[in-house]
Amino acid sequence: MCGRFENKVTLESILDILIKEGLDAEIFQDEPEKKPAKVNIPPGSRIISISKPEKKHLVRNVNWGIKFSDSSPLIFNSRIETIKEKKFWWNLLNKNRAVIPMTAFYEWKKEKTGKQPYRIFLPGQDIFYVPALYHKKEENIFASLVTTSPNKFIKQVHHRMPVIFDLKSAANFLSADVKDATEMCRPYSDKKKMEMEAVDL
């Protein structure tokens, strides 16, 4: 699962990262933005996304969570297993694909003293990218993160985890056909290092 995350980078710094890697990109600023939260970001927040609707990568702020009506739940995570099975979600993966930059995410582990939040990050990598689906409603864009089964590291704190890409894999995900993009959505390799630290939130 991914119910809270951290992103200490800005639209401008993400644009610089993409351009330095030789990717054609631009910022789409649809409205004056308040400064988004950087730590312990909850569903419903405005978050940075990268999509590739055509040839150019688009960096913009979107809403975290898809809500189809006032009475429907906020879908801020989408299971890759459901995406494979349900036509609506498969079509979103096919046509409305994005990645969300993060510097860490949080999980809560049940301990004797209660639930302890942990900040989970990739040592040596300042930023990573989580795939997402987005849904347009009028002029607004709403995104849901793609989750998968946990690797061995995450299994000690939760039964789900976000799919995690480096920049190269994120760019490949945005350009791949839908079948290849789906196959990329798997648990983070146990051969790659992850770390976590207890935090106060």
Strand partners, 60: 49
- pLDDT of residue 82 exceeding 70: yes
Q: What is the pLDDT of residues 49-80, one digit of tens each?
A: 999 998 999 999 999 999 988 899 999 999 99
For residues 135-148, give the mean pLDDT.
Answer: 92
SS3 category, 14: helix
DSSP string, 107-156: EEEEETTEEEEEEEE-TT-S-EEEEEEEEEETTEEEEEEEEE---HHHHT
* Domain-wise residue ranges, the chain: 5-103+127-149+159-189
pTM of the complete model: 0.95
Distance in angstroms (rounded) separating the CA atoms of residues 144 and 50 = 13
| Confidence (pLDDT) at 179 | 96
Rounded mean pLDDT, 83-108: 97
Q: For residue range 162-198, list pLDDT tens digits in order.
A: 999 999 999 999 999 999 999 999 999 999 999 999 9
End-to-end Cα distance, the chain? 18
Helical residues (DSSP H) of the chain, grouped into ranges: 11-20, 80-85, 87-95, 152-155, 167-175, 178-184
Homologous superfamily of the 5-103+127-149+159-189 domain (CATH): SOS response associated peptidase-like (3.90.1680.10)
